[in-house]
Amino acid sequence: MTERKDLIQEFLLIEPGELLETALELRTAGYRLGQACATLLGDQLELLYSFEKDNVLRNEKLTVDAAAPELPSITPIYSYAFVYENEMHDLFGITFRNLSLDYGGAFYKIARETPWNPKFGGGEKAAAPSEDGVSSEAEGGEA
Alpha carbon separation from 91 to 8, 17, 25, 43 (Å, rounded): 30, 22, 28, 16
Beta bridge partners of 37: 48
State the CB neighbour count (10 A cutoff) for residue 61.
14
Shortest distance (Å) from residue 45 CB to other proteins: 11
Tell me which of 48, 95, 125, 136 binds other proteins, using CB under 8 A: 48
Tell me which of 17, 39, 68, 127 binds other proteins, using CB under 8 A: 39
Q: Is 66 in the site for other proteins (CB under 8 A)?
A: no
Size of the site for other proteins (CB under 8 A): 39
Q: Is 109 in the site for other proteins (CB under 8 A)?
A: yes
Q: Answer whether 96's CB lies under 8 Å from 72's CB.
A: yes
Alpha carbon separation from 93 to 25, 45, 46, 106, 129 (Å, rounded): 27, 10, 13, 12, 23
Interface residue list for other proteins (CB under 8 A): 1-7, 9, 11, 32-35, 37, 39, 41, 48, 50, 55, 57, 59, 78-80, 82-84, 90, 101, 103, 106-110, 115-116, 142-143
